[in-house]
């Protein structure tokens, strides 16, 4: 158990609906990452936070996607007007930056999104 | 070209076999290297870091060749429990980790 929890674990929605995922890392994780993974692919980076500041967003993150990490604790990832291509596993990972290097990431079990 | 490329797999090997996975990375500024393991329908977990001098952890040996921008993972005496997808991961210091597509290993009794 990595201590990173995500919910909901599964979400089925109709195209055009909005969905929100939540990630709760452990308190030591000053970094929080969102990745997306589809079948047969490795995790693809979406965005990350250091404490409450969002430091980088991938070009994969269209304007329909928004992420927040208020107070530097839990984080939410919202997808507006979902499309079938958004169907994927959304993985959250916590980490601690040491010596200016990204070290080990601790992933949650993921939130699987199915858009019908 | 993908930043991290791995053997396509899948690798199907008998128990006790030795299997090697290869990975290349395109960004010469990459500084840190890892192998993560991902079981079916589970989250990725760190298997081992990869150091320039090469490193070993039990049956697992990881090697790095910076000149060729090449990383390898060798698994000796494969066990059924080694069946998983192995993800090659790199980063350029203080940046998000970049994952390869993964190579699936099935160890057969």
Q: Which residue from A54, A82, A51, A86 is spatially nearest to A68, judged by alpha carbons?
A: A54
Average pLDDT over residues B58-77: 96
Looking at beta carbons, which residues of chain A come within 8 Å of B102? 41-42
Residue B95 pLDDT greater than 90, yes or no: no
pLDDT tens, residue by residue, A82-91:
999 999 999 9
| Burial classification of residue A1, based on how many CB atoms lie within 10 Å of its CB (0-12 exposed, 13-18 middle, 19 or more buried) | exposed
Give me A63's structure tokens: 């304007």
Give the per-residue pLDDT at B9.
87
pLDDT tens, residue by residue, A32-81:
999 999 999 999 999 999 999 999 999 888 999 999 999 889 999 999 99
Token pair 């070993």 is found at B56
Return the residue of B nearest to A104 by Cα. Answer: B46
Return the residue of A nearest to B47 by Cα. Answer: A104
Chain A nearest C-alpha distance from B85 (Å) = 9
> Kind of pairing, strands B11-14 and B103-108?
parallel
Give me A29's structure tokens: 């994780």
Q: Estimate to the nearest angstrom the gap between the alpha carbon of B14 and the chain centroid.
A: 19
Looking at beta carbons, which residues of chain B come within 8 Å of A90? none
Alpha helices in B29-71 (DSSP H): none
Looking at beta carbons, which residues of chain A come within 8 Å of B32? 101-103
Give the per-residue pLDDT at A100.
57
Contact A92, A32 (CB under 8 A): yes
Residue B36 pLDDT greater than 60, yes or no: yes
């Amino acid at each position: 158990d990595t201590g990173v929890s995500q919910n909901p674990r599964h979400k089925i929605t109709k195209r055009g609906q909005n969905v929100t995922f939540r990630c709760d890392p452990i308190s030591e994780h000053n970094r929080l990452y969102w990745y997306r993974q589809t079948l047969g692919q490795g995790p693809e980076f979406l965005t990350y936070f250091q404490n409450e500041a969002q430091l980088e967003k991938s070009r994969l993150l269209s304007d329909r996607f928004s992420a927040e990490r208020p107070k530097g604790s839990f984080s939410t990832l919202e997808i507006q007007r979902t499309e079938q291509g958004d169907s994927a596993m959304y993985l959250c990972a916590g980490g601690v930056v040491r010596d200016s290097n990204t070290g080990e990431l601790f992933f949650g079990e993921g939130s699987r999104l199915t858009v019908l | 070209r993908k930043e991290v490329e791995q053997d396509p797999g899948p690798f199907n090997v008998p128990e006790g076999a030795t299997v090697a996975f290869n990975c290349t990375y395109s960004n010469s500024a990459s500084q840190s290297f890892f192998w993560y393991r991902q079981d079916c329908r589970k989250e990725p977990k760190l298997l081992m870091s990869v150091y320039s001098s090469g490193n070993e952890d039990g049956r697992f040996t990881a090697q790095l060749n910076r000149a060729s921008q090449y990383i390898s993972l060798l698994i000796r005496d494969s066990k059924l429990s080694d069946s998983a997808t192995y993800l090659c991961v790199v980063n350029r210091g203080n940046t998000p980790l970049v994952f390869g597509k993964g190579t699936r290993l099935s160890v057969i009794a």
